[in-house]
């Protein structure tokens, strides 16, 4: 694997593929029951079925992926809906500073709104050209390549816009509130 040192954040090592982590068993789902709830401090809430989500315009990005446990993987191809598409549809209140993303397995993570709505943040349903595998977040996961991978929640079913920070699963356990790999924001100080 050819690497470019300027692409590797401090303390990270390149791996060939991501290591899979979960907080519990991978939740099963019948796609006819899938719902994505987008709500909170917004003008318009959304309740999207799988068909609704698939009908939105999708895009592909290729980005490196960095885990707080010090591994990174180059050039993962993600296909999905730009998060900005959701932001534009729900119209968050001007005081929104954080976004809480909740997963079907009980996981949650909070993300600063500036990072959440970056052009390369996606609600992804494909990874490297194929549908997400269950262990990678099927049917849809958040991908925020500018932050450590724990911010890229798998099995997403709810997005809540917040005016005040709430801490998610790892943030409650001492991980950094933002999680910028280039600043090595692994843990809260």
Range of the domain at 124: 33-183
pLDDT in tens, the chain (189 residues): 444 557 899 999 999 999 999 998 887 899 999 999 999 999 999 999 999 999 999 999 999 999 999 999 999 999 999 999 999 999 999 999 999 999 999 999 999 999 999 999 999 999 999 999 999 999 999 999 999 999 999 999 999 999 999 999 999 999 999 999 999 999 998
Q: Number of structural domains, the chain?
A: 1
87 within domain boundaries: yes
43 within domain boundaries: yes
Domain CATH for 154: 3.90.420.10
83 within domain boundaries: yes
146 within domain boundaries: yes
Phi, psi angle pair for 144, to nearest 5° = -120, 85
- Report the C-alpha gap between 173 and 87 in whole angstroms: 28
Output the 3-class SS for 9-42: CCCCEEECCCCCCCCCCCCCCCHHHCEEEEEECE
144 within domain boundaries: yes
- Full-model pTM: 0.94
């Amino acid at each position: 694997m050819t690497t470019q040192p300027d692409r590797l954040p401090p303390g990270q090592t390149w791996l060939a593929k991501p290591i899979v982590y979960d907080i519990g068993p991978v939740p099963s789902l019948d796609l006819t029951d899938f719902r994505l709830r987008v709500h909170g401090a917004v003008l318009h809430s959304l309740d999207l079925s799988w068909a609704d989500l698939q009908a939105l315009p999708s895009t592909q990005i290729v980005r490196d992926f960095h885990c707080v446990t010090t591994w990174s993987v180059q050039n993962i191809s993600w296909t999905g809906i730009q998060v900005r598409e959701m932001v534009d549809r729900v119209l968050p209140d001007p005081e929104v500073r954080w976004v809480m993303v909740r997963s079907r397995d009980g996981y949650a993570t909070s993300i600063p709104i500036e990072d959440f709505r970056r052009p390369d943040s996606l609600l992804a349903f494909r990874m490297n050209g194929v549908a997400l595998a269950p262990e990678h977040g099927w049917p849809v996961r958040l991908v925020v390549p500018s932050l450590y991978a724990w911010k890229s929640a798998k099995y997403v079913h709810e997005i809540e816009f917040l005016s005040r920070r709430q801490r998610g699963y790892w943030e409650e356990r001492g991980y950094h509130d933002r999680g910028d790999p280039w600043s090595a924001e692994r843990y809260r100080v």
